[in-house]
Amino acid sequence: MSTTPTPSASARAGAPAPAATSATSGTALQILFSVAFVHLLNDCVQAVLPSIYPLLKQEFALTFTQVGLITLTFQCTASLLQPWIGLYTDKHPIPFLLPVGMCVTLLGVGLLSVAGSFPMLLVAAGMIGVGSSTFHPEASRVARLASGGRFGFAQSLFQVGGNLGSAFGPLLAAAIIVGRGQGRIAWFTLFVLVAVIVLVGVSRWYGSHLKSAVRKSAVHAGPGLPRGRVIQALTVLALLVFSKYVYMASLQSYYTFYLIEKFHVPVGTAQMYLFLFLASVAAGTFAGGPIGDRIGRKRVIWVSILGAAPFTLALPYASLFWTGVLTVVIGLVMSSAFSAIVVFAQELVPGKVGMIAGVFFGLMFGVSGIGAAAMGHMADVAGIESVYRMASYLPLLGMLAALLPKMEK
């Protein structure tokens, strides 16, 4: 008798694979859009903080250094916990950590609306950061689990939700808070409550798919590189994140101050320029992941970081019109890298999806916070324009992308 499997037997033997991909055939779009939507709400609330810096600076008589310390407090609490949360939940998944962490953000936003002193502002910023640190690793894991194998697309969709939130945050802050007082910040607790409700449903889906997630991570083979080569590649990726987000911190934290001081535009106009920049970041992020799926993530990383250098070098010497144009181009080009970097790193270290997401999201927040604090001090000492002259050279570190291994077949 022949022992060749029949088609039906072969289909039964391969049956676990489709079940392991997602709840639907291909990408579980409902879950992907849910985590992207919550990422939008989460980062919209976070973007309110730098958007109201001019208000806080005036009301509490803050220096640029103190403004940088607020950003540093938020970014550090948002970064230091993320790798550890990701590492722990790789071994012991906690689906309902998602809505619980968002509740911490809720408390932070409420405190920010009633804070009466600089230390209380720091505590509120820290609580918002803690909520962020619990959200990003687990939400990134859910996005990958629901990707159906389209990892770049899923990561970009998840990330673009956050970018859109960051873009709309300043507009909503201008419409709701600016000119009306600190107490109006409390309106943003409604955004966080919606996020908590959505995350309860996402957590239930995630909990029901934990077994398939464990099974996929167990059979996923790595790139077959020596340990030293993997460490070298991760170090290069970390340096690229450093160059990208220190520069981005200079735009997100001080762009409005730069426009007001150099071009004497009103706060509302400066907020519109910031919105244009953040919207371009969202567009570039959405494009980066699918392009990386198609042409290779290393190429996207290379072009995204180094390709922004001519524009960053020209920015400090541009007129108001060309400043707006250049920042939009910089946002489009530089933002396409992060999704590719995260997926590239996850493929280097399979089975550690949460830890890698936590490390790189945490590195993003930590580097941004340190960069913002350092640039705030530089602005106090040498003037706000010096920040953009010094930071313009950072994208040249994109040349390090040549050291990354080529893993695409």
b/e map 193-226, b = 16+ CB within 10 Å: eebbebbeebbebbeebeebbeebbeeeeeeeee
From first to last of its 409 residues, the chain has per-residue pLDDT tens of 444 444 443 333 333 333 334 334 445 888 999 999 999 999 898 888 888 888 888 888 888 888 888 878 887 787 777 888 888 888 888 888 999 999 999 999 999 888 888 899 999 999 998 998 889 888 888 888 888 778 888 888 888 888 788 778 878 888 888 777 788 888 999 999 999 999 999 998 988 877 665 555 544 555 678 888 999 999 999 889 888 888 888 887 789 889 999 999 998 888 889 889 978 887 888 787 778 778 878 888 888 888 999 999 999 999 999 999 999 999 999 988 878 888 888 888 887 777 787 777 777 666 776 777 788 888 888 888 888 898 899 999 999 988 999 775 5
SS3 at position 146: coil
Domain borders along the chain are 27-403
3-state secondary structure 147-205: CCCCHHHHHHHHHHHHHHHHHHHHHHHHHHCCCCCHHHHHHHHHHHHHHHHHHHHHHHH
Checking phi first, is residue 110 left (phi over 0); if not, alpha (psi -120 to 50) or beta?
alpha
Select from 249, 5, 200 the least CA-distant residue to 102: 200
Homologous superfamily (CATH) for 27-403: MFS general substrate transporter like domains (1.20.1250.20)
